[in-house]
Structure 1
Amino acid sequence: MLAHIDAGAYASTFITKELTRLMERMFGIDIHEATEDADAQLVLTSAGLKQDAELKDEFRIALADGRLSIDANTDIALLIAVYRFAYQFGARFPQPGAAGERLLKLDRDVFGSTVLDIRETAAFAHRGVCIEGADSVENIIDFIDWLPKLGFNTFFVQFENPYPFLKRWYQHEFNPYVNAEPFDAGIAQQMSDRVDEAMRTRGIVQHRVGHGWTGEVLGYSSKYGWESGLTIPEEKKPLVAELNGKRELVDGAPILTSLDFSNPEVTPRMVEIVVDYARKHPDVDYLHVWLSDAQNNICECDKCRTWLPSDQYVRFLNALDERLTKEGLDAHICFLLYHELLFAPEYETIRHPGRFTMMFAPITRTFERSYADVNLDQLPEPASYMRNQIVLPNSLEDNLSYLFAWQKTFHGDAFVYDYPLGRAHYGDFGYLAISDTIRRDIAKLGSLGLNGYISCQELRVGFPHYLPNYVMGRMLWNPWLDYEQLKDEYFEALLGEGWRDALPWLETASELSSCDYFIAIGERHDPEQAKRYAELSEQARAVEDTLVNHVVSADDGHRAAWLVLDWHRGYVERISTALAALANGDEIRAKAAWSRFLDYIRRGEMDVQPQLDVYRVIEVARNYAGFSPKDGFQK
């Protein structure tokens, strides 16, 4: 069978490869490339448009008399449509990686006799994921490969390259049972080039950098992320924010350090650094220009005290826009509502909103409620700004009050940068509650004046399953899907025969655990939650036989997913015991149980590497839940 594909030079090659693979595996049909549409029975065409706030991915799939045509407005939409075509014939993609695909083997006559006319447009322009956690380069590429299979179009690499996320994995931080592997900046760059190629060949919309610009002004590369233990040279101190009468790096970390924007050297330096990056990286679709990654570290000098941080930020953004325009650069800039920048400016406004996208990042919000639960007509007034004394809100109402205040001054493109799979998911042991919050949040985005969603998250978030990301991708494309049907579809694809037997356990695990408790929202001493954790630990022991029986009886294509569920059961039994003791205030018992949990996940990490980010769960438990990565551990 002959096929003709008209897309971008990079994307055309990859889409040809994917179409050939799917047609051969599903229908036993060999594909050869034709030079002209008239000679082809499969014709795929992309208009090659560049995604922006006004453009939403769309496609049409038409199949009749054995001739397939797919037309799309962007390269990534064309690839999404190829997977959507396979989905129509039973293909499912419940998790990243080749082992996560479920492709039916059908007779080629099924292709020849089927008639299709499918027209779809994405509900939102921005549908993506931002890297976090500890990742091998294979983890990152597998995840990027998975994105268009679910309807995502965007991937965000924080910093100059993914060095800090790769370093965590290859140095095996927090896991002394695994030897560190060779790793340095050169290796990271080679891996980063592979990641960039994976995005480019698929037509993925690329977001880049974020935090780190403030450190660049001081002479520190953003590629090293949250490196600390550094000291600032005397000649650079005038550029640094004054805090308590001193000008130093916050915790020795450039990324956490604010600048003195009243110093006339600061804005021009930062503008030139960003412009130089934009000039050298025209392939970046959305360049994120944020300030420091810390709160209550804003300059206290007399001049800065007269301005809100957001007024200074907007003044800088306008200077950046002016300089980019002068250089003839069309770089699109994402600016951030986060920490002090949640407080809307009093005086300054962005002069050319078409250059910018506003990103709302409510990092401290609860995930035990959804935006759908909020009465938007009864929001409180935003809190007054108190320099270096802010307390970030947990409530959705307070967070949204900041967003709405900004929307009075900025009327351009905007999306939410949210964190359900960045920390809170570790508190939902069944991953069903967090999935439900995600789908309900997405349904509300339009009412919030938001044009999409990027999830700041670990990539290894399949423990015990990847339903949260599956729901996120599918419903960002179409938020009107039936959630219960989507959930059933997912578990049937993941687990195969007997999939319904897993749901009662997962429902129990979600019901008895708590996202909020794990990320330190609410009191740490909580006897009622302690009882729920103790009950959950008992339930984990009780379900062991059911899960083991399914491991034994499952076919080869589904056994691995059942093995993960069984391994996860042991995880829940141990961490619930530790959390029950913590919530009861029994520190000695909590430390002993935590040590037992650490030993379990460290020894078993390689068995569930794509599913569980051991580094990140330990980091979150240390920073929020109240545990230590070292307590009770013996080499």
Structure 2
Amino acid sequence: MMQLNIEVSEPVKATAEAEFLRLFRAMFGEAPSNATVTLSSDGIAPGPSVHDAIAITLDHGNLTIHGNTNVALIIGIYRFFYEFGARYPQPGENREIIPSHGIDEFINGTLKVEETASQVHRGVCIEGADSIENILDFITWMPKVGFNAFFVQFENPYPFLKRWYEHEFNPYAEVEEFDTDIAQRMSDEVDRCMAERGIIQHRVGHGWTGEVLGYSSKYGWEKGIKLPKDKEPLVAEIKGKRELIDGAPILTSLDFANPEVIPQMVELVVDYAKKRPDVDYLHVWLSDADNNICECDECKKELVSDQYVRFLNDLDERLTEEGLDTRICFLLYHELLFAPEHEVIKHPDRFTMMFAPITRTFEKSYADVDYEHGVPEPEPYVRNDYTMPNSLEENLAYLFAWQKTFKGDSFVYDYPLGRAHYGDFGYMKIAHTIARDIQYLDRLGLNGYVSCQELRVGTPTFFPNYVMGRMLWDSKLDYDALVEEYFETLFGADWKQVVDYLSQMSTLSSCDYFNAIGERLDPDMARRYDEIVAMADEFLPVIEQHIADSTGVVKSYWLGLSHHRQYVMKLAAALHEIAVGNEEKAQHLWHDFLDFIRRNEPLTQPNLDVYRVIEVAKNYAGFKL
């Protein structure tokens, strides 16, 4: 057995050892006793100036893998095996491609890799409906492709787990046992999984406004709650009333002019920070709705962003008093996109600014904007009469205004795989947009990228997420080379046929149309959806032949493409009827699509979030449940 030296603290030490030995044995077999391997980390804590870096040296059986941070060491281990042909195309250990080499290739081999990550923030935030296995598989996959951070929204991932275990929107599945205790045990598993890999932990986000009213953030968007009389003075006054928006604390804003509100919210955050020193970035946002800002006489005197910054400064002061160095993420979203007019963050080193252009188009990239002539000044804010912008230009106008007042750490919190991707049937256009966006981050003055998204985004492939991780690690990677690497791994010698097919699907479909950007009656989109159906129908013989001729992992991906083909044909047919205004037929075809994805969910569960595609389609595309 080789001499294995591991210089990193627990629990990362156990993971580094286990994963290195697992992959080594699968690839090279048992190593002779004269081989020496050293895995080490400097253990640098995460921060806005810390770019993960790896150094790998192999010299005739003597291997060193070093990371400046703990997560960098784990990334470096996977990178070493990547250099010998290992590929990690999607979450799940059973989806890894690990070629077999003789031990002589290790004993006689030489290799030198030294790299520093292009971006500090390289993360994903949980969305959709997820089993605990989905979450753990995704987290364990992240460092294989270069990600370093995971964001658990709320106090724990209760709402995302609940959607899965209660099978919301899928009556074909039996409801499983689930409650708050089960959710907490699963949340603890998620925390352990992150800690064992050195994954940077982001947490909470929305929910603090509800906490002020006495409602836990762990329940997410749950509705049907009645506000007690004694809490009414704390709630935003809108059209003369103080009540919960849609019966949901998370959607409800507060009266920040009420002298009780900011101090209460500050203490809630401070108490949480004391209990959770393991959280690296604590997100402190306001409500998750727009046009719900308090209209009382005092609040109307200033922007809610001025009130927000005043709160952040008070929070910073209290955290300092408590001796806590907790880093706070604040949010540019809904009305908070409007930069404050008077207040300024006093100690920017405490804070990370998060730009969240949730309604932006993904039909174009940040790289396509005319920055000299195309970015307007933000429109004046009109209280509770605000329409979220779709254009990149308008969204960026808000970012640039905030950057005049805040010069600290920042990243974009973007949504390509949160709902836009359902409109791109081939996932090739959205992948290319992600790549070009990431390459433009430095020029936007941003320090990274966190994707708010479903974890099960593999219909037809996980290529967009693969591109995201790889290019956040190295923004100079060639996109076309990534296309070849990925699709040849999945589909074998005829990978170009698949790329051409999926690229045509992407060209014909529309992220914007699916997400209600633009007119619903659209003859051109109707024609394009017809072409998609015909193209998918014509591709069946190709799929059938490759399923018959292939084996193992390659065969499994061709089978996945077969499911995707029917998924696309049924959904495109329904969207065609939306585009021509035939409501009755659209709903009939939509229910045929629902029957197909619901029945097949046991087969496609890791790759398709049935809950989320239904939710997005009914909220935006024009279908009914």
TM-score category of the 2 structures, normalised to the smaller one: over 0.9
CA–CA separation in structure 2 for the residues paired with 1:40 and 1:230 = 64
Q: Does 2:495 correspond to 1:499?
A: yes
Contact 1:363 1:419 in 2 (8 A): yes
Shift of 1:628: 1.1
Work out the CA distance in 1 between the residues paired with 2:343 and 2:272: 25
CA distance in 2, matches of 1:475, 1:437: 12
Cα distance between partner residues in 1 of 2:70 and 2:512: 40
Tell me if structure 1 keeps the 8 A contact 2:505–2:532.
yes
CA contact (8 A) 2:31 2:103 kept: no
Q: Which amino acid aligns with 1:245?
A: G
In the other structure, the counterpart of 1:387 is 383
The aligned residue for residue 97 of structure 2 is 102
Q: Does 1:577 align with 2:577?
A: no
- 2:425 corresponds, among 421, 426, 429, to 429
**1:528 maps onto 2:528 in alignment:** no
The match for 2:29 is 28
**1:245 to 2:246 alignment:** no
Q: Distance in 1 between matches of 2:203 and 2:548?
A: 45
Kept in 2, the 8 Å contact 1:135–1:169? The answer is yes
1:456-480, CA deviations, whole angstroms, 9 ceiling, x for partnerless residues?
Answer: 0000000000000000000001111
Distance 1:475 1:31, change over 3 A: farther
Name the counterpart of 2:413.
417
CA distance in 2, matches of 1:501, 1:401: 41
* Aligned counterpart in structure 2 of residue 79 of structure 1, from 74, 81, 92: 74
- The answer to whether residue 465 in structure 2 is matched with residue 464 in structure 1 is no
Distance 2:75 2:60 in 1: 23
What do the CA deviations read for 1:170-196 (whole angstroms, capped 9, x no partner)? 000101110110000011111111111
Cα offset, 1:570, TM superposition: 0.2
1:176 has 2:171 as partner: yes
CA distance in 2, matches of 1:84, 1:190: 32
Match of 1:538 in 2: 534
CA distance in 2, matches of 1:351, 1:524: 47
Moved over 4 A (4+): none
Aligned twin of 1:632: none
Whole-Å separation in 2 of the counterparts to 1:492 and 1:202? 29
Residue identity in the other structure for 2:30:
I
- Whether the 8 Å CA contact 1:23–1:31 is kept in 2: the answer is no
Distance 1:54 1:465 in 2: 34
Given residue 364 of structure 1, which amino acid in structure 2 is its aligned partner? T
Give distance in 2, aligned partners of 1:280 and 1:496.
Answer: 50
Q: Which whole-Å CA distance do the structure 1 matches of 2:161 and 2:417 have between them?
A: 19
Report the CA distance between 1:495 and its aligned residue: 2.1
Which one is further off, 159-168 or 506-515? Answer: 506-515
Query: Residue type of the partner of 1:15?
Result: A
Q: What SS does the aligned partner of 2:126 have?
A: strand
How far the C-alpha of 1:541 sits from its partner, in A, is 1.1
**Is this contact kept in 1: 2:35–2:61, CA < 8 A?**
no
Q: Which amino acid aligns with 2:592?
A: R
- The correspondence of residues 270-281 of structure 1 with structure 2, limited to 5 A, is 270-281=265-276
Q: Distance in 1 between the 2:619 and 2:610 partners?
A: 14
Find the residue that maps to 1:180 and give its secondary structure. Answer: coil
Structure-2 separation of matches of 1:534 and 1:339: 36
2:359 is equivalent to residue 364 of structure 1: yes
Given that 2:16 and 2:39 are in contact with CA atoms closer than 8 Å, whether structure 1 keeps it comes out as no
Deviation at 1:497, TM superposition (A): 3.6
Whether the 8 Å CA contact 2:281–2:326 is kept in 1: the answer is: yes
CA distance in 1, matches of 2:497, 2:399: 42
Tell me whether 1:482 sits opposite 2:478 in the alignment.
yes
Aligned length: 623
For residues 363 and 284 of structure 1, the distance between their equivalents in structure 2, rounded to whole angstroms, comes to 25
Question: One-letter code of the match for 1:297?
Answer: N
Does residue 216 (structure 1) correspond to residue 211 (structure 2)? The answer is yes
1:337-379 residue CA offsets vs partner (Å, 9 max, x unmatched)? 0000000000000000000000000000000000000122221
Q: Deviations over 1:133-190 (max 9, x none)?
A: 0000000000001000000000000000000000000000101110110000011111
| 1:271–1:319 CA contact under 8 A, matched in 2 | yes
For residues 527-571 of structure 1, give each alpha carbon's deviation from its aligned partner in whole angstroms, at most 9, with x where no partner exists: 111110011111111111111221121111222111111000000
2:15 counterpart of 1:14? yes
Return the alpha-carbon distance in structure 2 between the equivalents of residues 501 and 547 of structure 1: 10
1:202 aligned onto 2:197: yes
Deviation at 1:115, TM superposition (A): 1.1
Q: Give the drift of 1:30.
A: 4.8
- Quote the Cα distance in structure 2 between the aligned partners of 1:190 and 1:318: 35
Which of 395, 402, 408 does residue 406 from structure 1 map onto? 402
Q: Which residue of the other structure, out of 547, 550, 568, is the alignment partner of 2:546? A: 550
CA distance in 2 between counterparts of 1:622 and 1:347 reads 41
State the Cα deviation string for residues 251-293 of structure 1 (Å, max 9, x = none). 0000000000000000010000000000000000000000000
Q: Which residue of structure 1 lines up, in the alignment, with residue 332 of structure 2?
A: 337
Q: Deviations over 1:285-330 (max 9, x none)?
A: 0000000000000000000000101000000000000000000001
Q: How far apart are the structure 2 equivalents of 1:575 and 1:238? A: 47
Structure 2 gaps of 5+ residues are none
* Corresponding residue for residue 4 of structure 2: 3
Identity %: 62
Q: Hey, what's the Cα distance between the residues in 1 that align with 2:120 and 2:95?
A: 27
How much does 1:499 deviate? 2.1
Deviation at 1:518, TM superposition (A): 0.3
Task: Identify the residue that residue 57 of structure 1 maps to in structure 2.
Answer: 52
Residues 112-127 of structure 1 mapped to structure 2, 5 A cutoff: 112-127=107-122
Superposed counterparts of 1:588-599, under 5 Å: 588-599=584-595
Aligned to 1:625: 621
The answer as to 2:561 corresponding to 1:560 is no
Measure, in 2, the Cα distance between the counterparts of 1:278 and 1:222: 15
CA distance in 1, matches of 2:548, 2:293: 58
Q: CA deviation at 1:31?
A: 8.9
The match for 1:286 among 242, 263, 281 is: 281
Secondary structure of the corresponding residue to residue 377 of structure 1:
coil
Q: Deviations over 1:84-108 (max 9, x none)?
A: 1000000000011012100010010
**1:375 aligns to 2:376 (yes or no):** no
